[in-house]
Structure 1
Amino acid sequence: MLNHFIRAASAAAALCIATAALAAAGAPASTAQTSKGAALVDGRGMSLYTFDNDAGGKSACNGPCAAIWPPLIAASGSSAAGDWTIVSRDDGSAQWAYKGHPLYTFTKDGTPGDVNGDGFKNVWRLAKP
């Protein structure tokens, strides 16, 4: 029982350190543990996803698609760094991308840590660090 507690505490400490490092670097997302392992999450702790139909660093999810899969919007004045880039959307807004893949949340994820969108229609993937 004590070993389990120590392992859990160590994992929590590692996650806090990783999250703090991302925050210090100005990253628009952090890493959290989900039922499917480590994943990128937004500032509310909601899982982030990539869309297989996106190509060339451009979002293919607009209109009704974006209503179900809201893009991770980059605020005015945000700047890209490292693996984080900003792509222009068809509506003129700016969206965060990780390693060239635009990022989205999923409206059917109700609480932090939900991963209901992973594998959806075999084109949506949980964003992994």
Structure 2
Amino acid sequence: MKRQIWKLSAATALGAFFLAGCSSGGTAPPASSTVAGSQPSVALKTGQTALGTIVVNGQGMTAYVFDKDTANAGTSACTGPCIALWPAITSPTASPQVNGVTGKVATIALPNGTRQVTVNGLPLYTYTPDTKPGEDAGQGYGGIWWVVGPDGNKVAATPAPATSGSSGQGY
């Protein structure tokens, strides 16, 4: 029983640590951060989940926006430990290729030389616990992370746990 309580406490602390890291201000991940999600061809396309048609990266992984980001600010508010849980969707070019996305797609420059893809001026991210295309376990995480519709607007609905494969809590 003590071991289970310890595990639950550790998991809760880890989740709080990542969520706290996501709430810090800043401009972008430091040059030593690993920015995952780079696609050589199509950077964004659409996919189907329990939430309907949403934006996904070139590998089909769900794209998310962060409420603490400001549209058209040219920076990401997700830095430090946050970027480890929410890797930036990147593009090798300033004009990423898209398929089915109708929102305005562009990029912002990160300090490490990569370009983070944006839609309607908001930086896009994937969620590390989503391990297969179509998963959307990050939806609603902390009340500040949301999947994105093809028009670039966040989707605020929460999927039913049985159909999305997520707990609805995001961790």
TM-score (norm 1): 0.72
Distance in 1, Cα, partners of 2:68 & 2:45: 24
Q: Distance in 1 between matches of 2:142 and 2:113?
A: 27
**What is the CA–CA distance in structure 1 between the aligned matches of 2:96 and 2:132, rounded to whole Å?**
28
Find the counterpart in structure 1 of residue 131 from structure 2: 110
Distance 1:107 1:80, change over 3 A: closer
Which stretches in structure 1 are left out of the alignment for 5+ residues?
Answer: 1-25
1:29 to 44, 56, 64: 44
Structure 2: gaps (5+ residues):
1-40, 98-102, 151-171
The match for 1:79 is 95
Which whole-Å CA distance do the structure 2 matches of 1:90 and 1:38 have between them? 32
In structure 1, what is the Cα distance between the partners aligned to 2:44 and 2:126?
12
Secondary structure in structure 2 of the residue aligned to 1:115? coil
Q: 1:53 aligns with which of 62, 68, 89?
A: 68
Matching of residue 44 in structure 1 with residue 59 in structure 2: yes
- Please name the residue that 1:68 is paired with: 85
**1:114 & 1:80 partners in 2: Cα distance?**
23
Q: How many residues align?
A: 103
TM-score under structure 2 normalisation? 0.55
Superposition CA RMSD, Å: 1.9
SS at match of 1:32: strand
Q: In structure 1, what residue type is equivalent to 2:87?
A: P
**DSSP 3-state at the match of 1:29:** strand
CA distance in structure 1 between the aligned counterparts of 2:49 and 2:139, rounded to whole angstroms: 11
Flag the structure with higher helix content.
1
Residue number in structure 2 paired with 1:125:
146
Identity across aligned pairs (percent)? Answer: 38
Corresponding letter in the other structure for 1:105: T
